Chains A and B, each alone.
Chain A
Amino acid sequence: MELLTNILAAMVVAGTPLLLVALGELICERSGVLNLGQEGMMLMGAVAGFVATLSTGSLALGVAVAILAGVGMSLLFAFMAVTLAANQYAAGLALTIFGTGLSAFVGAGFVGESIDGFDRVAIPLLSNLPVIGRVFFHQDPLVYFSLVACAGIALFLHQSRGGLLLRAVGESPESANANGLKVLTIRYLAVAFGGAMAGLAGAYLSLAYTPMWTENMTAGRGWIALALVVFATWRPERVLLGAYLFGAASILHLVLQGLGWRASTELLAMLPYVVTIVMLILLSFNPVRTRLNTPLSLGQPYRPGH
């Protein structure tokens, strides 16, 4: 029981960065914009947050700077993909390549430095619950934030006027425009929100998960998040489940080592990527389900009056 609780708690921690970045991408895609630059934005968030915390000693400031870095990167993307109506695949790919290079450059002097990351904060009463208490209510503040954000985004999408406008823009920018909505503004806001969440997810890696900076420390999580959003059929509550599933896949090698299995670290490290491919294959068995749930204008640039 003790072991199971520990595994579940580690699964939540490993799933949190995926949850954060996937929630941001979900909002972005709901507005019809596909941003493949998640990896680049996460890396910039990770390095910016780490450098800010290292030089000021403040974790809160680190998180704030990471979010700003993510937003800044996402605005570059928005300029290309929304204002200039560039190909969203190419623009997103450019953002990832640019972010990978820039973060390595900025962080080059900080490899090997270490900081005191986020501590766990037990929530009174709730943390005393058996199993659940340890798994969900004895974690660091960013885990709590991710859970609140997930609930908030689910409410926003389906219960608020703002969510309705966002979905309208994503389904049919032409109709939204005809109804007087500012399509480009709403898309900019959605992309920026995605950037903020990706920056935060990066900060989670460099300030809480492993409090240090290494090049390419996101290890493909930004890409996995993209698959996760499709798998979750653009619904926040399913993103939560999917993120923890991936969390489980990425800590499996620790579990097996804990159980005394002798398996190669490198082979087990493939697991999250293999799981992603398997997930994509599972999706293909029901293409109608995916097609019905995809925001209709996803990936298509929109220019008013053309």
Chain B
Amino acid sequence: MLQLERRPVDSSLMRWASPVLALVLTVITGFVLFLALGKDPVEGLTFFFITPISDLVGLAELGLKMAPLLLCAAGLTVCYRAKLWNIGAEGHFLMGALGASVVAVALVDMSGFWVLPVVLLAGVLAGMLWAGIASGLKTYLNCNEILTTIMLNYIALNLLLYTVHGPLKDPMGFGFPQSVMFADSALLPALIPGTRLHLGLAFGLLAAVAVWVLFARSFIGFQLNVVGQDHRAAAFAGFGARRLTWFAFLVGGATAGLAGASEVTGPIGQLVPQVSPGYGYTAIIVVFLGRMHALGIIAASALLALTFIGGEMLQIAMNMPKAVTGLFQGLLLFYLLTCDAFIHYRIRLRAPVRKPTHVAAPAATQEA
């Protein structure tokens, strides 16, 4: 009989094998799905995984989509390590885009090197403000951060829609809900000339390095880890939970806000309603898949960036719905959590051992 049994020690092999296994299972499911839809599965998977990144322009597009995912995921890693379930990266991202756009539109006639930093800073601060609300609600009023951050996401989305339909709407925009194009001085420079890849990816990689330094080398990173693993132990050690919560949320807000600011000053160049295809939510998958580790989230953000462009590719090449992206992401997370169970448990193929009730059996103790 199949029996789930707790491992004496968590499997560190399984901890890193689990994401790979989840990816394999997702690809197999994709294969079956293509067959069921009457499409050629090999062709479909090639269009999804390989065609989008087979040239320099494609790779640049991958980096373009990686940037916001990596930035959001870096901030969320800090929160999740401390077991703060911040689901609000999407809201921080939207507020970052909104804050940066408001300043960029106000400075549209300005030129000078200082314009871009000011615009980006506005985005960072707007993201921090939004995360700060959730942090304040948690630390002072004890509100569950999952629910408050989700609600703040919806509020941020409506605030952005209001702004783009109202105060920031371009009067010369033929009635389209969008802002004026930003001045060149407010745009992020390209990383590779001739492609859309911009400095945002460098911000993302820097954020990942910062996460590594934080958890490998700093005391506050150690405190965050302890709070996450055993908050009672952290309290005994005198680590201030409230201060650490504020720190984690503000970092999360700052990185996601920067991601939003980089998106409007990078590839888009103006504020539009659909500034995010759900980067903030996808970043949650990136963090879990990347094992809350700097290198892990870099790899995971590349994979999930690929699901965005792979989905677009399938739409163009094989007339599939673009929603295949969300389906793929959902499957991946689902399989990941299932595989993660085997970090703590293993399967036994025998009947459960019955403990003898009245005979003190040394054999039984040895087995345990």
Contacts and interface: CB of A to CB of B under 8 A. Distances in A.
| Chain B interface bracket (under 10, 10 to 19, 20 to 34, 35 or more) | 35 or more
B329 A97 contact: yes
B334 A76 contact: yes
A251 to B, nearest CB: 16
Interface stretch (A3-11, A62-70, A83-91): A83-91
Contacts of A104: 321, 323, 326-327
Given A85-B341, A97-B329, A223 B323 contact: no
A100 interface: yes
A118 B340 CA distance: 43
Given A85-B341, A101-B330, A277-B151, A270 B323 contact: no
B242 to A, nearest CB: 15
B12 interface: no
A242 to B, nearest CB: 14
B324 interface: yes
Interface in A78-131: 79-80, 83-87, 89-91, 93-95, 97-102, 104-105, 107-109
Interface stretch (A159-167, A190-198, A261-269): A261-269
Interface residues of A, number: 50
Contacts of B268: none
A219 B334 CA distance: 22
B48 to A, nearest CB: 13
Interface string B245-286: 000000000000000000000000000000000000100110
Contacts of B330: 94, 97-102
B9 to A, nearest CB: 15
Q: Which of A89, A91, A95, A277 has the most CB of B within 10 A?
A: A277
Nearest to B339: A84
Contacts of A83: 4
B141 A284 contact: yes
Q: Which of B147, B165, B329 has the most CB of A within 10 A?
A: B147
Given A84-B4, A264-B162, A274-B155, A223 B147 contact: yes
Nearest to A109: B321
A54 interface: no
B178 to A, nearest CB: 15
B39 interface: no
A276 B147 CA distance: 9
Nearest to B344: A85
A262 to B, nearest CB: 12
A76 B333 CA distance: 13
B337 A86 contact: yes
Given A86-B340, A273-B151, A100 B137 contact: no
A51 interface: no
Q: Which of B85, B146, B285 has the most CB of A within 10 A?
A: B146
A226 B147 contact: yes
Interface string B295-333: 000000000000000000000000001111111111101
Contact of B143 (A223, A224, A277): A277
Contacts of B328: 101
Contacts of A276: 147, 151
Given A89-B85, A93-B87, A97-B284, A267 B158 contact: yes
Q: Which of A100, A264, A266 has the most CB of B within 10 A?
A: A266
A114 B87 CA distance: 34
Contact of A94 (B148, B161, B334): B334
A108 B324 CA distance: 10
A171 interface: no
A97 B326 CA distance: 8
A95 B334 CA distance: 7
Contact of B324 (A80, A99, A105, A226): A105
Given A86-B341, A227-B147, A264-B166, A97 B333 contact: yes
B214 interface: no
Contacts of B4: 83-84, 303
Contacts of B338: 79-80, 84, 86
Interface in A269-301: 269-270, 273-274, 276-277, 280-281, 283-284, 287
Contacts of A281: 137, 141, 143
A222 to B, nearest CB: 10
A90 B158 contact: no
Contacts of B288: 90
A212 B281 CA distance: 25
B340 A105 contact: no
A270 B337 contact: no
B150 interface: yes
Contacts of B150: 220, 223
Contacts of B165: 264, 266
A99 B334 CA distance: 10
A270 B143 contact: no
Contact of B281 (A87, A97, A219): A97
B275 to A, nearest CB: 15
A280 B143 contact: yes
B34 interface: no
B212 interface: no
Contact of A91 (B281, B321, B337): B337
> Which 7 A-B residue pairings sit nearest by Cβ, starting from the closest?
A101-B326, A108-B321, A98-B330, A104-B323, A84-B341, A266-B162, A101-B330
Given A220-B151, A277-B151, 4 more contacts: A84-B338, A85-B341, A219-B154, A270-B159
